[in-house]
Amino acid sequence: MITLLLIPLVTGIVCFFIPKPKLIGYISFLGSLVLAGFTAVTISNVFSVQAVKEGIFYVDALSGYIMAIVVFLSCLATAYSIEYLAHELDAGLTDLKYIQRFYLLLNAFISSMLFVVMTDNLAIMWIAIEATTIISAPLIGLGFSKRDLAIEAAWKYIIL
C-alpha cells in the first residue's frame, strides 16, 4: 500500500525537473493513470476480502470507496490542468517554474489525501490532514503573480 503513496510523490518530483510545460502535464496525467491502476487492484482486494491491513495502513470497503473518489478526481484534475496551464502559459499569465511547482504540489496533495484515507492511527491521520492543508495552501497562493488576492485567499484558508 505504500506504493499508492509513492506513485504521486515520484510523479511530482519527476514533473518538477522536466523543462517542457506540456510534457509535465502529460507525465502527471500518466502518473494519475498508473495510480488508478494500482488503486483498482487494492480496492478489488478489499472487496474480495473483508479488509486489508499492512502496518499502519488499513483499507476497508468505505476507505476503498473514498480512495476511488480521490483517484478519480485526481485523474480529472491532472487531465484538465494540461490544457488549462498551456493556455495560461500562452497568455503570459504563468511560467515554467509555476507549472513545475503546481504539479509537484498537486501530486503531493494527492498522496496526502490518500494517506488520510489509508491510515489506521488517529494521530497519524491528523498529521496527514494537516499535511493536506499545508500542501493545498501554496497551491491556492501560487497564483499570486496573476491575481492579487491569491495570497490573501491562501492565508484565510490556513487561518480557517
Domain coverage including residue 65 = 2-122
Angle at 30 between CA 27 and CA 36, to 5 degrees: 145
- Domain count for the chain, please give it: 1
The answer to whether position 112 is within a domain reads yes
**Which pLDDT score is estimated for 149?**
77
The answer to whether position 149 is within a domain reads no
**Which pLDDT score is estimated for 144?**
61
C-alpha cell at 88: 495560461
Angle at 124 between CA 72 and CA 7, to 5 degrees: 40
Angle between helices 150-159 and 122-141 (to 10 degrees): 160
Over the chain, what is the mean pLDDT? 91
The answer to whether position 143 is within a domain reads no
Radius of gyration of the chain (CA): 16
Is this structure's pTM higher than 0.75? Answer: yes
Which residue type is seen at 62? L
Confidence of residue 107 (pLDDT cuts 50, 70, 90): very high
The answer to whether position 14 is within a domain reads yes
Angle between helices 96-118 and 21-48 (to 10 degrees): 10
